[in-house]
Structure 1
Amino acid sequence: MHILIVTTGGITRMFRNWPEVLLAKALVQRGHRVRALTYFDAKSDALNTRQENVEGIEVQRIEPNGWLTREFWSALQRGPKPDVIHIQHLRNQFAFQAAYYARRENIPYVVTPIGPLHDQYLSRDRDHPLDTEPLYHNLIWSRREIINRTSRDGRVKRHVENYFMHYPVHHANAVIACSEHERGIWAQMHIESETIPLWVDVPFISNLRGETFHQEFTRPVILFVGQFKYRKGFDVLARAMPMVLEHFPKATFLFVGHSPIHRRELEAIARKDGTHEHLEIVGRVSEEDKVRLYNSADVSVLPTRYEGFGLPPLEAMAAGCPVIASNIPVVDEVVRHEENGLLAPRDDPRAFADAILRIMRDDALRTHLIQNGFETLTRFDEKDLTARNEAVYARILQAAPVVKA
């Protein structure tokens, strides 16, 4: 089968656990031809090569220029016609053109949105999307609705973008949700979907077991891996620091993230609370060093306010690092309280501090969570989940009707 994957920046040599590259490599290993059209970014070490072959994946990168990019359209036209197109990410600026092309050429396509509440038209606040009900009525599904809304408020650019963003999932031959919570959201919009979760590169992580980060930290080490965005809850862990340090005065809080957007706010919280000397901020690290950081940590904390899926808990489990995470939809499908991790109420620094202290003080609980974390990985087996994606491709190939864009 020839599969075209259309995504943002997810197929690189640098980031091993991004969903697209794991799926693409697994498909290549199963004998499929995989071509990928992704974002080009001259300022990014991971995305600044126009064309390359990544472990058998034919990758072409194109600079996005809004929702209609001439170079991307030309790449679709010039490239070999695929059997199936797999579009990743709801906010992918190439998605509309890829879906339109697929329908025009009668190529069946599947969409994996990875987190519908990342959608600015569906969520009132993308940093706190679970605080309010989704704005289902706000989405635009037809060109007629663009005209109707523009006639009322004149915001044509906004309404066209709204339509372009939702066209792919509305017309897809199949939609793959990565959680049951996501599947429920699509069901509210009368869009049928199938749940296939994401996974991580367990063999890669396991092969580095025992290797620690080159820098030493005073213990215990509490690790945060993620972007410094309020949606990720970095501020929740920062505000939990004084309560942990009261009992473990030598603790190190290690924040690892490739997005510096709110680094100053993180440092300001620590300075205000008098915990700045216990704060260590590490910028972008290699995939190998990220695993070594998990290996070096006493606990991994994900105080997130929303996740499309949330890979850090699986990464931590594969590295044998106990997990604490927010008790929110999606995350609770991976982390089960007192079974393979601890769950704490979102936006509750005291609850996160208590969970950290509990793991630090209870060796039996720690061992229990680590062991069950290893067992959890069998629910996210690459061979099984790749086969389920393949089954979707086969089904839509067999059933795809002739349509007009």
Structure 2
Amino acid sequence: MNICVVTQQYKNIFSGVGLHANNLTNALLNDGHKVTLVLPEDQAPQLISPQLSITTVKKPRFNQNQARWISLSFSFNTALQRLESQSRFDLVHFTDARESFFCTPHASMIGHVNDTYSAELKTPLEYKRNYPDWLLRWLYYSAVHYLESRKLHRLKLLVANSQYTANTIIKTYPKTAPKVRLCYKSVDIERYHEIDNRRKVSPPDLDHPIILFVGSNMYRKGVPDLIKAAPGVIKQHPQARFIIIGEDKSTDRLKRLCYDLNVDRNFEFAGWQSQESLLSYYQRASVFVMPSLTEAFGVTFLEAMAAGVPVIGTNVGGIPEIIHDGTNGLLVPVESPSSITDAINQLLSDAQLRERFIQSAFSTLNNFSVDKMMECTRSLYQEILEN
């Protein structure tokens, strides 16, 4: 097949979107398909293959803003029109369905729904309780909600990253119901085997434990609650270090919260890290924690599991489809710093529990392998082509 993959991320991975774009493209090339990547100019890969073509567009106008997909969608449309004047695609695959909203290719479109925060639109007061940028966030989510209600059903198929996402999209936008399919995101398990082996040879130092968080949009992913949980952890583990990986415009505000709670010496805000650098952080981590307020899926839990790091998440959104409380990790109530404290201390003090979770997590990962993801993707492609 001749497949066009349209994505905002590839070379530099900031979220599950970039991770999926890499796994998808590599698997399609391995299957022998011809692939055209359409992406921003700063995301062009070094990957060389006779079956791969690359078309770049200008970086989005709001590159560090959630709304960057809007300008990208217009740029992607121009690129697709130019490409389709030269050749025919069997389908166009968007790693983020929103980026198709202002595109009108001749080929059928398939797109991923990666989050639910716009579909689950709340009142301004609810955002004000948790977000310093509550008004802008509410206005942005409201605009996206409006566009999703009018644009999502235009795609041939919509790929939800969790059953929770699928149910939410169908409930909020009933027109999408016939087109929504569940296809879990994947993690390249083989890539993490060496990290797990190194952890076995040289286990993390529990006298100086590292609690790791990886993600952007840090208020939504519960970093303030993690900071509030820190004093209770440090009381039992004075040498504990909390490492926060990711870029976020609210970092300075979060650092001030650390200072106010007198835990700033125990926190390191390490910024964005490449996938290669991230492996070294997983290797040294004692526990991985992401206490999200809302989360459609949570691919970083899969990364931590693959690296052999026990995980803690909140009992919200699609997270329980990955973490089974007490079996392969711990789930805590949303917005409950004290529960986060208890969960971290429990894992740091119980070696048998950590090992049981790690071994169980390896079994869980079989459901989220690249092979499983591609098996699902091939069936969706076949459905589109047959119809």
TM-score range, shorter chain: 0.7 to 0.9
How far apart in 1 are the matches of 2:321 and 2:128?
18
Paired residue total: 357
**Identity over aligned pairs, percent:** 25
Give the direction of change, closer, same or farther, for the CA distance of 1:79–1:345 in structure 2 (3 Å limit). Answer: farther
Gaps of 5+ in 1: 42-46, 132-157, 400-405
How far apart in 1 are the matches of 2:32 and 2:125?
39
| Displacement of 1:235 | 0.8
The aligned residue for residue 182 of structure 1 is 165
Deviations 1:173-230 (A, max 9, x none): 21111111111122212222111110111111213334589xx997111111111521
Secondary structure (helix, strand or coil) at the match of 2:236 reads: coil
How far apart in 1 are the matches of 2:128 and 2:187?
25
Give the direction of change, closer, same or farther, for the CA distance of 1:82–1:260 in structure 2 (3 Å limit). Answer: same
How far apart in 1 are the matches of 2:321 and 2:223?
21
| Displacement of 1:57 | 3.8
How far apart in 1 are the matches of 2:291 and 2:327?
18
> When you count helix as a share of all residues, which structure comes out higher?
2
The aligned residue for residue 392 of structure 1 is 380
Gaps of 5+ in 2: 62-70, 131-140
Which letter does structure 2 place at the counterpart of 1:114?
N
How far apart in 1 are the matches of 2:151 and 2:260?
46
Deviations 1:297-350 (A, max 9, x none): 110001111223211110010000000011102011111101110001111110
Secondary structure (helix, strand or coil) at the match of 2:28 reads: helix
The aligned residue for residue 35 of structure 1 is 36
Give the direction of change, closer, same or farther, for the CA distance of 1:206–1:75 in structure 2 (3 Å limit). Answer: farther
How far apart in 1 are the matches of 2:22 and 2:86?
20
Secondary structure (helix, strand or coil) at the match of 1:280 reads: strand
The aligned residue for residue 58 of structure 1 is 53
1:272 to 247, 251, 260: 260
How far apart in 1 are the matches of 2:240 and 2:56?
43
- Pairing 1:316–2:298 present: no
TM-score by length of structure 2 reads 0.83
How far apart in 1 are the matches of 2:88 and 2:24?
20
| Displacement of 1:380 | 0.9
- 1:152-191 matched pairs, under 5 angstroms: 165-188=148-171, 189-190=173-174, 191=176
2:354 to 356, 366, 377: 366
1:222 to 211, 227, 236: 211
In our comparison, the structure showing a higher alpha carbon Rg is 1
Cα root mean square deviation, aligned: 3.2
Give the direction of change, closer, same or farther, for the CA distance of 1:365–1:52 in structure 2 (3 Å limit). Answer: closer
How far apart in 2 are the matches of 1:74 and 1:308?
32
TM-score by length of structure 1 reads 0.79
- Pairing 1:12–2:15 present: no
How far apart in 1 are the matches of 2:142 and 2:121?
13
Which letter does structure 1 place at the counterpart of 2:188?
D
2:88 to 81, 85, 93: 81
Contact 1:87 1:111 in 2 (8 A): yes
- Pairing 1:2–2:2 present: yes
